[in-house]
């Protein structure tokens, strides 16, 4: 009886799967709308200056950051679905998830990419008033720690 209830309880993971997927889709659609609006606004701006180009570049980098986060949510949704609901779901080799450690590795890899984009955004927008070196060093330490985790995990 308890075993059957526990086996059935795996379906509650569908709540997380659906919510992560809905969040991913919402972020993708929202940011696509933002980009279209920004492009339309940029086309109407005159004169085109280097400062405007820098502003557009920062906006694009921010959009890429949101897209990466949306993709992370989608990967988590897929991973949870495969782990708890349907392990036979066909996925590309690079997205195959065999256990929760594989899902964590995908998440950590994605976090590294998001942190790199975050630093790139700050570097492009840098106006000399903030401590970019300290920010970059802090991010580098976090990225190094996460990379070490991936390297150690890969050896086991």
Q: How high is the pLDDT of residue 154?
A: 76
Where the chain has pLDDT below 50, the residues are: none
pLDDT digits (tens, 9 = 90+) for 36-51: 998 888 888 778 788 8
Number of Cβ atoms within 10 Å of the Cβ of 101: 11
Question: Do residues 113 and 65 touch, judged by C-beta distance below 8 A?
Answer: no
What is the rounded CA–CA span in Å between residue 96 and residue 91?
6
pLDDT digits (tens, 9 = 90+) for 1-25: 778 888 888 889 999 999 999 999 9
Helix axis angle, 100-125 to 50-84, nearest 10° = 170
Q: How high is the pLDDT of residue 156?
A: 58
Q: Which two tokens stand for residue 59?
A: 């906006």
């Amino acid at each position: 009886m308890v075993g059957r209830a526990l086996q059935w309880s795996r379906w509650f993971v569908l709540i997380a799967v659906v919510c992560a997927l809905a969040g991913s889709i919402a972020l993708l659609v929202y940011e696509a709308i933002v980009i279209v609006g920004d492009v339309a606004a940029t086309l109407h701006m005159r004169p085109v200056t280097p400062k405007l180009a820098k502003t557009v570049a920062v906006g694009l980098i921010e959009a890429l950051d949101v897209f990466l986060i949306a993709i992370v949510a989608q990967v988590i949704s897929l991973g949870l679905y495969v782990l708890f609901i349907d392990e036979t779901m066909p996925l590309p080799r690079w997205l195959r998830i065999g256990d929760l450690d594989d899902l964590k590795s995908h998440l950590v890899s994605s976090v590294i990419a998001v942190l790199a984009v975050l630093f790139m955004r700050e570097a492009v927008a840098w106006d000399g008033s903030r401590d970019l070196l300290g920010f970059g060093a802090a991010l580098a330490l976090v990225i190094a720690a996460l990379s070490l985790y991936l390297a150690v995990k890969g050896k086991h």
